């Protein structure tokens, strides 16, 4: 699992390490790793380091020092290195090392033919936006040059991923000591490119992180455990309230997402038309048709968790369905039409004690938070802050969908989902996701784990179907790939 820490925490850890090491040790560790990455990229691009052309954009801080010392190492390997100062001063030791190694200092005009650029303009002490001289220098970098950001792309807020004005768009970001939240959350994540993490010894001095990212090896231990003697009820029973005469497909998609994730039983509860569609596509589902007044959802039978909302209309019937489900003392996933009902009547969450997962996109969250026009854009630009605010305000786990999916818990913990592909932006994919999360909840996972593991599996399934070329997919394509996305469970001898 990858851990991210805000700047203040990283600074404190750096100070603790530097107090125990000779001066300059951390910078040399960072520079050595940065030079190694740059050398590898140059060999891939031009076949060698010797004779390759390297530009360095140098700011006033230690970030610029890292870049200069790395540039000196590349110059000693035969690269032609030119540094462009963009601050009031440059790191004295880095300056001397570069010139001693045969590198030079020049102007932005000298960047016109470089193969690779090291972005050392602003480090983790910077904030969004770059000064005009830095913007002008970036415009001189060839479009096909490889850009390597030092620790964080200049112009990206390292704590939030926010970007205001121009920021460096890196092909690779080499980050030191700890992941920074802004590297993992859009728009910053888009600017960071591929992230190369370098351990410089901060680990013992970093506290328990509040922001994490799951990796493949984290999944098996977080899946529901299956005893050898488990029957379908012990494996989990999920109730699904979804679909309407207008949106019949949502019911089919949600039930399919749950069944293909691996669950003992799905009880579908809904109107006659979507119920018929579910019966036809998923004969293994247990179907209950509700009367027109939508009463007695609980009469469908006992479940360990519910999904409510995909394809529901936010009318009186929809309100009645959401109200009944949220009144039950079991975990609930609320999506789509259910979120619209909550936006109109947030009192439905009052007094609720059982775990709740809300799965909005930015527009739905803006309505839930009753933001003014333009709220969706604000959320897209400040995803981390709004996901945490919503989790705190609603006392629920909030999965904020989008280019970076953030899962925030009421306790303040956040997981950023690393899987997925742009082709997931297709009608019905969110319904499948709700079914996946619901199945994991019914299997006994916590709301935080169910939402973050569900997002991971959903995104991985899309990648498996779409392939490296990013082939277009539809929501139903995810069903076939979900079993392949789920790794072997721990203690498999028991079942």
The domain that holds 199 is classified in CATH as 3.40.50.10260
Question: 292: annotated binding-site residue?
Answer: no
351 with 327, same domain: the answer is: yes
pLDDT in tens, 116-132: 999 999 988 777 778 99
- Regarding pTM above 0.85, the answer is yes
71 annotated to bind ligand: no
Confidence of residue 13 (pLDDT cuts 50, 70, 90): very high
Q: Is 311 annotated as a binding residue?
A: yes
Asked if 158 and 287 sit in the same domain, the reply is no
Query: Is residue 160 located within the same domain as residue 223?
Result: no
Is 404 labelled as part of a ligand binding site? yes
Domain that holds residue 134: 2-209
Pair (9, 151) in one structural domain:
yes
Comparison of pLDDT for 388 and 164, the residue scoring more: 388
Same domain, 164 and 270: no
Q: Tell whether the model's pLDDT for residue 229 goes beyond 90.
A: no
Distance separating alpha carbons of residues 360 and 228, to the nearest angstrom: 37
What is the mean predicted confidence (pLDDT) over 157-163? 91
| Whether residue 187 sits in one domain with residue 39 | yes
The answer on whether 459 is annotated among ligand-binding residues is no
Residues 292, 166, single domain; the answer is no
Is 431 assigned to a binding site? yes
Would you say 403 is a known binding-site residue?
yes
Is 374 annotated among the ligand-binding residues?
no
> Domain boundary at 145, 175, 209, which?
209
CA distance readout (Å), 202 to 21, 179, 215: 12, 11, 21
Domain end, chosen from 179, 209, 239, is at 209
223 and 197 in a common domain: no
Instruction: Say yes or no: 156 and 231 in one domain.
Output: no
Q: What is the pLDDT of residues 380-415, one digit of tens each?
A: 888 999 999 999 999 999 999 988 899 999 999 999
430 is annotated as contributing to ligand binding: yes
My answer on whether 328 and 419 are in the same domain is yes
126 is in an annotated binding site: yes
pLDDT at site 231: 63
Task: Specify whether 106 is located in the same domain as 126.
Answer: yes
- The residue among 163, 179, 209 that closes a domain is 209
Structure confidence at residue 488 (pLDDT):
66
- Flag whether 288 is marked binding: no
**CA dist list (Å): 148 to 154, 373, 466:** 11, 38, 28
Residue 489, pLDDT > 60, answer no
Tell whether 402 is in a known binding site: yes
Binding site annotation covers 215?
no
- Give the pLDDT score at 227: 63
Q: What number is the average pLDDT over the span 354-370?
A: 96
State yes or no: 417 annotated in a binding site.
no
| pLDDT value at 492 more than 80 | no
- pLDDT at position 487 is 83
Q: What is the spatial distance between Cα 30 and Cα 149, in angstroms, rounded to a whole number? A: 12
CATH number at residue 330: 3.40.1190.20
Q: Which residues pair with 356 in a beta bridge?
A: 332
The answer to whether the CB of 369 falls within 8 A of the CB of 342 is: no
Which is nearest to 196 in space by CA: 423, 390, 439, 33?
33
pLDDT band at residue 468 under the 50/70/90 scheme: confident
Domain count, the chain: 2
Residue 119, annotated as binding a ligand: yes
Share of the chain above pLDDT 70, in %: 96
The answer to whether residues 242 and 266 belong to one domain is: yes
127 has binding-site annotation: yes
């Amino acid at each position: 699992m990858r851990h991210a820490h805000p700047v203040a925490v990283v600074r404190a850890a750096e100070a603790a390490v530097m107090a125990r090491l000779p001066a300059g040790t951390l910078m040399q560790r960072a520079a050595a790793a940065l030079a190694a990455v740059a050398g590898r990229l140059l060999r891939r691009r031009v076949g060698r380091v010797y004779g390759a052309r390297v530009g360095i954009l140098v700011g006033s801080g230690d970030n610029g020092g890292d870049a200069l010392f790395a540039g000196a190492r590349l110059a000693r390997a035969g690269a032609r290195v030119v540094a462009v100062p963009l601050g009031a001063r440059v790191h004295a030791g880095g300056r001397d090392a570069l010139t001693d190694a045969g590198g030079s200092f020049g102007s932005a005009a000298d960047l016109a033919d470089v193969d690779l650029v090291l972005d050392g303009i602003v480090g983790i002490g910077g904030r969004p936006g770059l000064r005009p001289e830095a913007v002008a220098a970036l415009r001189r970098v060839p479009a096909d040059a490889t850009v390597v950001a030092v620790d964080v792309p200049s112009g990206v807020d390292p704590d939030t991923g926010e970007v205001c004005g121009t920021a460096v768009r890196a092909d690779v970001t080499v980050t030191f000591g700890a992941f920074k939240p802004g590297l993992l959350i859009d728009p910053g994540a888009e600017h960071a490119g591929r992230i190369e993490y370098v351990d410089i010894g901060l680990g013992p001095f970093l506290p328990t992180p509040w922001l994490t990212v799951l990796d493949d090896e984290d999944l098996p231990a977080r899946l529901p455990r299956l005893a050898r003697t488990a029957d379908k009820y012990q494996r989990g029973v999920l109730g699904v309230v979804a679909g309407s005469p207008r949106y019949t497909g949502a019911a089919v998609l949600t039930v399919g997402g749950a069944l293909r994730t691996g669950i003992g039983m799905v009880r579908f509860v809904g109107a006659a038309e979507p119920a018929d569609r579910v019966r036809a596509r998923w004969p293994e589902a247990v179907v209950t048709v509700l009367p027109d007044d939508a009463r007695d959802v609980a009469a469908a039978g006992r479940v360990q968790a519910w999904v409510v909302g995909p394809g529901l209309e936010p009318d009186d019937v929809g309100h009645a369905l959401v109200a009944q489900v949220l009144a039950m003392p079991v975990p609930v996933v609320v999506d789509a039409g259910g979120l619209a009902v909550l936006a109109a009547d947030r009192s439905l969450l009052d007094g609720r004690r059982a775990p709740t997962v809300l799965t909005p996109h930015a527009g739905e969250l803006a309505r839930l938070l009753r933001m003014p026009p333009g709220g969706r854009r604000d959320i897209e630009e400040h995803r981390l802050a709004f996901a945490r605010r919503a989790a705190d305000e609603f006392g629920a786990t909030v999965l904020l969908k989008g280019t970076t999916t953030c899962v925030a818990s009421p306790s303040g913990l956040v997981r950023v989902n690393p899987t997925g592909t742009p082709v997931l932006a297709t009608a019905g994919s969110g319904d499948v996701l709700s079914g996946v999360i619901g199945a994991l909840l019914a299997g006994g996972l916590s709301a935080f784990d169910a939402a973050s593991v569900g997002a991971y599996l959903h995104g991985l399934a899309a990648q498996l179907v779409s392939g490296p070329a990013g082939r277009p997919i539809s929501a139903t394509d995810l069903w076939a790939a979900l079993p392949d996305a789920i790794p072997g469970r721990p203690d498999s001898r028991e079942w």
